[in-house]
Structures are given as C-alpha cells and as structure tokens.
C-alpha cells in the first residue's frame, strides 16, 4: 500500500519555527552579553582577586591561630624586570605565616596562596594623590615592613591600609582601584577615573558595586 506524500516539506522550517528560534537566541544572548562585555577588564579582575585573597589569608590566620601576611614578591624596582615579570609591573605577591606579625624572621612561605595579578595591572611605583583621601603612599614601601599582616584574630597589624592598583594599559572607565583595608580586616574597592592627570572617584553602581 502506497503511503501518501506529506503536505509539509520536511526539509525546511516554517515561519513560526524560525521566529521561535530567533526569540530563543535573543534571550540567550541577553543573558550572555554582560559576560562578553566584561572579558577585557583586567583592573576589575585584579581588584577582585586582591580582595578575595586578603579575605582568604585573614580566614587562614584565624583558623590556624597564626599570623599571615601578603607582600610584594620583589624587593627592588629592578627586581620587577625579570623572567617572571618582563614588563616591569609590580603585580606579584607572596604569602607567608609566622607566630605573630611582629616576627622579623621565621616566616614560612605559604606558596599555595601566592598571588599574580593580570599582566597590565599592578601597584604604581610612585605615590598618588586622590580627592578627599589625599596622598596615598607608595605601596612598594611595604617591603621595609611586614606587608599586609593579619594576626590570629584577623586584625590588621600594620599602618598600611590603602593599596592602589592601576591598569597601566586599559581604556576602561576606571584607571585605578583603591583597596581600602579596615583595622578589623574589612576590604572595600573604590574606583577612580583619570582626566588630565587628576583622579575623580566613580560613584558606586545602583547595586552598590564598584564600576570599572
């Protein structure tokens, strides 16, 4: 018995099917677009890395009943020009622990917590003056002290409370991000844009997050 031919062409799509496909694609792109647009934001990524790293070593200090500190990996500006960082940007940090933050020796490396920021992001080698905040000292000066150190209660045991991260190449809205560390270990990120060598603070977004 012969099967009658179908009145529909199985090799094509109907107009309704095409419209539904386009609509679904549009919805998917709407969710994915913010992720695509945020790919090239090294200052944002580096700032969030730095913040989460500080929170991590603070938690580690409390849980282990030791002091944990983070400091720049290289001790001189010449040290930044190396095989590890041929671009000369101060962006590499090491983590160490000891009995307390006042120790001058006996610091043990905690290499699993070392931090390398994105290649175009690092700490500027010269101090920066910010509106309201004023003069922010050169972050490289931590090399002469203990760096950013959390004691076994998670308290910051150093006068270093503001660290500047700069995007040396990016063309995004924010040029620098200030990592503001409170005495009790809280970490905030404040972003600034640069115009004619002056910095202007960028207000938080409606969600209360820094804008980059």
| pLDDT the model gives residue 122 | 84
Model confidence at 10: pLDDT above 80: no
Both tokens assigned to 205: 């977004």
* DSSP letter string, 114-166: -EE--TTEE--SS-EEETTTEEE--GGGGGGTT-EEE-TTS-B-SS--EEEEE
Architecture in CATH of 42-201 = 3-Layer(bab) Sandwich (3.55)
Cα separations (Å) of 211 from 123, 207, 208?
19, 10, 9
21-35, 68-82, 89-103, 123-137 — which is least confidently predicted?
A: 21-35
- The burial of 168, by beta-carbon neighbours within 10 Å (0-12 exposed, 13-18 middle, 19 or more buried), is given as middle
Partnered with residue 188 across adjacent β-strands are 180
Cα angle at 155 between 149 and 156, to 5 degrees? 40
Tell me the average pLDDT across 171-175. 83
Res 48: pLDDT: 94
Instruction: Select the highest-mean-pLDDT range: 88-92, 132-136, 179-183.
Output: 179-183
Q: Cα dihedral sign for 127, 133, 134, 137?
A: negative
């Amino acid at each position: 018995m012969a099967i009658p031919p179908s009145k529909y062409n199985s090799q094509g799509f109907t107009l309704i099917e095409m419209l539904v496909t386009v609509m679904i694609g549009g919805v998917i792109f709407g969710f994915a677009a913010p992720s695509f647009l945020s790919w090239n934001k090294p200052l944002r990524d580096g700032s969030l890395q730095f913040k989460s790293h500080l929170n991590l070593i603070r938690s580690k200090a409390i849980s282990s009943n030791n002091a944990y500190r983070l400091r720049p990996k290289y001790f001189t500006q010449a040290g930044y020009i190396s095989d590890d960082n041929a671009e000369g940007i101060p962006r590499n940090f090491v983590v160490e622990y000891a009995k307390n933050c006042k120790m001058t020796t006996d610091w043990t490396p905690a290499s699993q917590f070392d931090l390398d920021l994105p290649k175009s992001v690092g700490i500027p080698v010269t101090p920066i003056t910010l509106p309201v905040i004023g003069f922010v000292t050169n972050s490289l000066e931590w090399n002469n002290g203990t760096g950013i150190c959390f004691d076994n209660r998670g308290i910051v045991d150093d006068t270093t409370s503001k660290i500047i991260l700069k995007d040396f190449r990016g063309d995004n809205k924010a040029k620098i991000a200030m990592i503001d560390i409170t005495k009790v270990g809280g970490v905030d990120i404040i972003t600034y844009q640069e115009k004619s060598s002056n910095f202007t603070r960028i207000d938080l977004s409606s969600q209360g997050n820094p804008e980059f």
